[in-house]
Amino acid sequence: MPRSPDPVDPSLSPWHLFGAAVRHWRELRGMSLQEVGKKIIFDWSVLARWERGERKPPRDAVERLDYLFEAGGFLVALHAFATAIPTSEPANKAMPEWNPDAMDQLRRQLLTGLAAAGAAAALPPSQGLEHLRALVNSGVGSESLTDWEETAEEYAQAVVTRPRAQVVTDVALDLLVLQKAMRTAVPGPEQTGWLRVNARLTFIMAHCLGADGQKHESRQWWNTARRAAQQSGDHELVAAACGYEAMQALCEQRPAAVIVRLAEAARTAAAGRPSAGVAEAHGAVAQVHARLGDMKTAERALAAQAEVFERLPDVVTGNRMALGGWPEARLLHTRSYVLTYSKNNRAGHAHEEALKSYPAARVRPIAQIQLHQALMQVRSGDLAGGLDHAITVVEGLPSGDRSAFIQRSAADVADAVPARDRSNPQVAEYRRRLGLPIPEGV
């Protein structure tokens, strides 16, 4: 009977991580070391040493492996940033034990490699992140729960303050390390805490991808986030996954029925308990019905949202700089949106209230409110003023802050231009400068 292969610990170095990825893909395809060795024209014993992180494979062999395993470029990318790390030579001697400092050191090494090799190359959004998502779907258990809870909290703030692409890369790497940590036995009482951290980080990944405009990847991660939240047994996390996805679904112009269904799932999960996810769900319902012209339903949803807000704990309403916080600014933002898209003459006052409620550091939501103002200018007949205002707002943002929500609002400004004016060169220039599609015939 053949002996079991030597274990691979991806936490030891980037080359151990690469080796673990090779073994994962090989076993996923049901192939032996001998079979793979014959296919890529390398001795199988050498391949075994690659998997154990003991030797650095040449790029051409990695390309053949990637093609053989149909890994979609993931192995090539992982090899690229491991190569870019100058101190990442394969190690023969294992570390004596797993510890938080080693985890943080590896994380920093990987981020250095991503910066050197290029984040887009290191983690292809469709293949690489999909592979990582598959790993997230399994495993529980480990140590250092408190450290990971703090990490999740830091990412909730990073979503608000840092460029999304950086957060996606960072969270992706920590999720990868977390999966290893969750496969280590932990006391039963801590299991729920680990599941909650896994759910929170997966939720953050889904949100960031959606805000970055990666619709397909985001939708898959939202599916995983909902399942991870359900596994944790935390009703607030389930409500958050459903409620925040409903809001992103609105931005992505998914069917109204889908948005309403997700919002209802958030309310069902909460079972009458107030939470940020439920408040977000009511906001999504209010906004989608305002777009549909159903002001009565939109107003009812606004009232329901206000009622939830009044019942939220101070720790949630007082948190103005983190994902999951739900301050009064969110309530006023929803009202600004509803009154803008329902063409209500009270919209101007709502814009001013919402703008005053946000701290200056919240540049993205402030820009959205300013785009509500631009939309109302265009609708009132001030075409040049509205388009100029919108351009100033969007181009004044760093590229990393131009989220899918910003792009959607900017597109709505152009869509509000009356049919008789859509051939105006200024409209075409507006779309070109902001990277918006130009309709045929314009």
| pLDDT recorded at residue 56 | 83
Query: What are the tens digits of pLDDT across the range 185-214?
Result: 455 678 889 999 999 999 999 999 999 999
134 within 8 A of 126, measured Cβ to Cβ: no
Contacting residues for 397 by C-beta, under 8 A, at least 6 apart? 363, 364, 367, 406
Backbone torsions φ then ψ of 325, nearest 5 degrees: -75, 150
Query: In one letter, which amino acid is 187?
Result: P
| pLDDT recorded at residue 87 | 45
| pLDDT recorded at residue 278 | 98
Q: Which residues does residue 45 pair with via DSSP β-bridges, in sequence order? A: none
CA-to-CA distance for 391 and 399, rounded, in angstroms? 13
CA-to-CA distance for 134 and 129, rounded, in angstroms? 9
Query: What are the tens digits of pLDDT across the range 232-248?
Result: 999 999 999 999 999 99
CA-to-CA distance for 366 and 393, rounded, in angstroms? 9
| Structure tokens given for 371 | 């785009």
Q: How many other CB atoms are there within 10 angstroms of residue 197's CB atom?
A: 26
The average pLDDT across 56-76 equals 85
The average pLDDT across 296-319 equals 96
61 within 8 A of 79, measured Cβ to Cβ: no
- Using pLDDT thresholds of 50, 70 and 90, give the confidence band for residue 441: low
CA-to-CA distance for 170 and 439, rounded, in angstroms? 37
| pLDDT recorded at residue 317 | 95
Q: Flag whether pLDDT at 123 surpasses 60.
A: no
Helices within 293-420 (DSSP H only): 295-311, 314-317, 328-341, 347-357, 363-379, 383-395, 404-415
Contacting residues for 236 by C-beta, under 8 A, at least 6 apart? 270, 273, 275, 276, 277
∠ CA 53-67-22, nearest 5°, is 20
Q: Flag whether pLDDT at 379 surpasses 70.
A: yes
Q: Flag whether pLDDT at 230 surpasses 90.
A: yes
Q: Which residues does residue 40 pair with via DSSP β-bridges, in sequence order? A: none
- Name the average pLDDT for the chain: 84
**For the ranges 88-102, 127-141, 289-303, which has the lowest average pLDDT?**
88-102
Contacting residues for 210 by C-beta, under 8 A, at least 6 apart? 218, 222, 245, 248, 251, 252, 404
CA dihedral sign, ordered 33, 36, 40, 41: positive
The average pLDDT across 64-92 equals 74
The average pLDDT across 84-95 equals 48
Query: In one letter, which amino acid is 73?
Result: G
- Using pLDDT thresholds of 50, 70 and 90, give the confidence band for residue 269: very high
| pLDDT recorded at residue 7 | 65
92 within 8 A of 39, measured Cβ to Cβ: no
Query: What are the tens digits of pLDDT across the range 152-187?
Result: 988 998 898 888 888 888 888 888 878 777 776 455
Side-chain half-sphere of 133: how many Cα atoms within 13 Å?
A: 25
14 within 8 A of 88, measured Cβ to Cβ: yes
Please list, residue by residue across 113-123, b when 16 or more beta carbons sit within 10 angstroms of its beta carbon and e when fewer do: bbeebebeebb
Phi-psi region at 265: left, alpha or beta (left = phi > 0; alpha = psi -120 to 50): alpha
| pLDDT recorded at residue 108 | 53
> Which tops the pLDDT comparison, 134 or 361?
361
Helices (H) and strands (E) in the chain, counts: 23, 0
| pLDDT recorded at residue 400 | 83
Query: What are the tens digits of pLDDT across the range 327-375?
Result: 999 999 999 999 999 988 899 999 999 999 998 889 999 999 999 999 9
Q: Flag whether pLDDT at 93 surpasses 60.
A: no
Measured CA distances, 386 to 16, 332, 382, 389, 410 (Å): 55, 22, 6, 5, 11
Q: What is the pTM of this model?
A: 0.71
Measured CA distances, 388 to 276, 369, 413 (Å): 35, 15, 11
Q: Flag whether pLDDT at 283 surpasses 70.
A: yes
> Which tops the pLDDT comparison, 115 or 52?
52
From the CA atom positions of the chain, what is the Rg in Å? Answer: 24
CA-to-CA distance for 230 and 131, rounded, in angstroms? 21
CA-to-CA distance for 230 and 8, rounded, in angstroms? 30
Side-chain half-sphere of 236: how many Cα atoms within 13 Å?
A: 12
Contacting residues for 229 by C-beta, under 8 A, at least 6 apart? 199, 203, 237, 238, 240, 241
Q: Flag whether pLDDT at 60 surpasses 80.
A: no
Classify 441 as helix, strand or coil: coil
Helical axes 295-311 vs 328-341, angle rounded to 10°: 180
139 within 8 A of 40, measured Cβ to Cβ: no
